[in-house]
Amino acid sequence: MISASQLLGQDDLLNMLNQEDAKKITYTQATFKGTRFINGQTVETIAKKHLNFWISHRFGALNSGFMDNFLGLDEAKIRLGLEYGLSDVWLVGMGRSTIEKTYDFYTKYKVLRQSNEIPVTLTVYGSLATNTMPTGYSLPSGNLMRYENNLQRQTYMGQILIARKFTDKLSLQIMPTVLHNNKVESIYFDNNLYSLGLGGRYKLTNRLSLSAEYYKNIVDTENFFKTSGASYPYQDSFSVGFDIETGGHVFQLHFTNSKGMIEKHFISQTTGTWANTDIFYGFNMARTFSFEPDKKK
Amino acid sequence: MRNLIVVFALIILGFQANGQLYMAQNGEVSFFSKTPLEDIDALNKQVGSIINTANNEVAVQMRVTNFVFPNKLMQEHFNENYLESDKFPSATFKGKIREVVDLKVPGTYAVTAVGTATIHGVTNPIEIKGTIVSKGDQVSLTCQFDIKLVDYKIDIPKIVFAKIAEVIRVSSKINYLKK
């Protein structure tokens, strides 16, 4: 008698395995290369027990003169940051920016992961920025900032990050944002600022990708002009750059009209415009360290 | 058509009292790259495999993304840059055990599987020597073999060339249950 299993050749066995495998959930990997686009955050978190060290650097404006400022390269603003993965979907981080001598603390939690069942990755992000400038300093807008107590120095920010990896090359993200300044520079400013961010990346090669991000601030500039008699001093932030990956590092080189590298600064305090070539050249460098023990050793 | 045959075969097999298929869902495959600069290892614990004792044919299938590295950045590079797992999600082997063995009889057998391996979308002939330990309705297969990266068109950039070996040692341990 011929047994049925004699009919099952190698290819049939492989088909059976593939059918078993198709029942499992497939999660989308690496929607973005890094935890941040350029200034703002991506949906990506880092793996458990992994530490990222960020060095972010912005030179002066390109239009600040060759003799005076060597096209901006004479001056630099930096932010140093650390972020750590508490789990594969939850990270905490902190940083210190030159601008307004600001400390920032943040956390990011991945709620949904894109898979063959869920179309998007959704991450929630919250941050606190603490300004430690001496009171009575002047802002880029010309206004003087005075603080009477420490509570006034705090800025809170909340974001929902929703991203989809459309193809292996193209990923897009949308990020509704709310930012709350405990103290604003004048009575004409609202303590709450709403903004809608858009970001994306396109992989040019396996190790090089193009990325861009834009934040559209929802501000009634006409009303601001009517009440205060001056035009609204801040602009929407737009940045474009390249991500280059070399082993354990990610290098991000970019041009942006924002000098700041945390939400408070780049969303609510961008004064430069692309039209005036108030463009800042900058780079971010991330180094990842793993504290996951190698089980075989 | 082929799928239909498989479905029918499975139905028939379902009624067979003494099945001749040994199946595994959670086999383990690991690999090891050793250079003076860096040792890299990764482990996949979700390897599927079937041995058909009626004709000694074997198939192994695994998802490339299921390889777990101690360093997650390495894991991302492995998937994104080297194995391109979006394009080539699985690695497979199909072949035939050359020796005549009856796995239903408990014992230890040295076996050679001859067939083809597909990794990174490239298929190459391969011969794998291994050991099968049978307990009758349970068998376990262990084997080790080497994979040359150039054979599977896996490009390593110059900048990390010194950190990744040209030949990768692959080890496997798969426990099968009789179906």
Please count the CA atoms within 13 angstroms of the CA of B164 that sit on its side-chain side: 19
Q: In the predicted model, is pLDDT for residue A153 greater than 90?
A: yes
Nearest beta carbon to residue B70 from set A4, A26, A292: A292
Q: Structure tokens of B114?
A: 């001859």
How near does any CA of chain A get to the CA of B22, in Å?
Answer: 11
CB-count burial class (<10 Å; 0-12, 13-18, 19+) for A275: exposed
Mutation for testing the A interface, residue in B1, B3, B5, B6 having most A CBs under 10 Å: B6
CA A109 to chain centre: 14
To 10 degrees, what angle do helices A10-22 and B2-15 make?
Answer: 90
Give the nearest chain A residue to B89 (CA atoms). A26
Tens of pLDDT along A236-289?
Answer: 999 999 999 876 678 899 999 999 999 999 999 999 999 888 899 999 999 888
DSSP state of B60: E
Which residues, at least 6 apart from B44, have a Cβ–Cβ distance to it below 8 Å? Answer: B28, B29, B30, B62, B63, B66, B67, B68
Q: Is B86 on the interface with A (CB under 8 A)?
A: yes
CB contact under 8 A, B57 and A8: yes
Task: Indicate if ipTM > 0.90.
Answer: no
**Boundaries of every domain in chain B:** 21-178
Q: In the predicted model, is pLDDT for residue A47 greater than 50?
A: yes
Contact residues on chain A for B60, CB-CB shorter than 8 A:
17
Distance, CA of A191 to CA of A199 (rounded, Å): 25
Question: Letter for the amino acid at A26?
Answer: T
What is the third-level CATH fold of B21-178? Lipocalin (2.40.128)
Tens of pLDDT along B113-143?
Answer: 999 999 999 999 999 999 999 998 899 999 9
CB contact under 8 A, B57 and A13: yes
Which residues, at least 6 apart from A209, have a Cβ–Cβ distance to it below 8 Å? Answer: A33, A201, A202, A203, A242, A243
Distance, CA of B97 to CA of B115 (rounded, Å): 9
CA A167 to chain centre: 21
How near does any CA of chain B get to the CA of A168, in Å?
Answer: 6
- Selection from A134, A126, A84 nearest residue A105 by Cα: A126
How near does any CA of chain A get to the CA of B78, in Å?
Answer: 10
Predicted local distance difference test score (pLDDT) of residue B17: 36
Distance, CA of A76 to CA of A281 (rounded, Å): 10
Q: Is B163 on the interface with A (CB under 8 A)?
A: yes
CB contact under 8 A, A12 and B63: no
Domains parsed from chain A with CATH numbers: 42-290 (2.40.160.40)
| φ/ψ of residue B73, rounded to 5 | -70, -40
Q: Which helix (H) or strand (E) holds B49?
A: strand B39-52
Q: Which residues pair with A128 in a beta bridge?
A: A105, A156
Distance, CA of A255 to CA of A239 (rounded, Å): 6
- A93-115 burial, b for 16+ CB within 10 Å, e for fewer? bbbbbbbbebebebbbbbeebbe
**Contact B64/B89 with Cβ under 8 angstroms?**
yes
Average pLDDT over residues B17-34: 84
CB contact under 8 A, B50 and A18: no
Q: Which helix (H) or strand (E) holds A122?
A: strand A121-131
CB contact under 8 A, A13 and B53: no
Predicted local distance difference test score (pLDDT) of residue A1: 40
What is the value of pTM for the model shown? 0.84
Distance, CA of A200 to CA of A195 (rounded, Å): 17
CB contact under 8 A, B79 and A30: yes
Predicted local distance difference test score (pLDDT) of residue A4: 57
